[in-house]
Amino acid sequence: GNSVTQMEGPVTLSEEAFLTINCTYTATGYPSLFWYVQYPGEGLQLLLKATKADDKGSNKGFEATYRKETTSFHLEKGSVQVSDSAVYFCALRGGGSNYKLTFGKGTLLTVNP
């Protein structure tokens, strides 16, 4: 079956530091890949997505590239802000009509001023 493994947190950074949160996956077929963000006390929000190999998703300064050869979708941001403090979830959706989202366990990011 499908699975997602993301780096365990918590991750603590200073403002303006570079961020990488690793995500690797196992899936059959051609999955779509997602990063969701959950700010404190809120629901999950879609941060970015990529639907095929070599696609780069980007939003709010975050980027992730769908790497089929390494089955990875690492999240990066060049300069984090305090407001980026949240839990980040990597997820995949199987190809075709497969409805199911498979989530990683989440990575808590704390950015200090």
Site for another protein, rule CB under 8 A:
30, 32, 34, 36, 42-46, 49, 51-52, 89, 93, 95-97, 99-101, 103-106
CB of residue 65 to another protein, shortest distance in Å? 17
Residue position matching structure tokens 């690793």: 22
> Which of residues 19 and 92 has its CB atom nearest to another protein in the complex?
92
> Which of residues 33 and 111 has its CB atom nearest to another protein in the complex?
33
> Which of residues 17 and 98 has its CB atom nearest to another protein in the complex?
98
Half-sphere exposure of 15 (CA within 13 A, CB side): 5
Q: What single letter denotes the amino acid at residue 8?
A: E
Strand partners, 11: 109
CB of residue 18 to another protein, shortest distance in Å? 25
> Which of residues 46 and 79 has its CB atom nearest to another protein in the complex?
46
Tokens representing 108 are: 């808590």
Residue 47: partners with Cβ closer than 8 Å, 6 or more residues away = 34, 35, 36, 37, 59, 60, 62, 75, 88
CB of residue 109 to another protein, shortest distance in Å? 15
CB of residue 111 to another protein, shortest distance in Å? 21
CA distance 49 to 97: 17
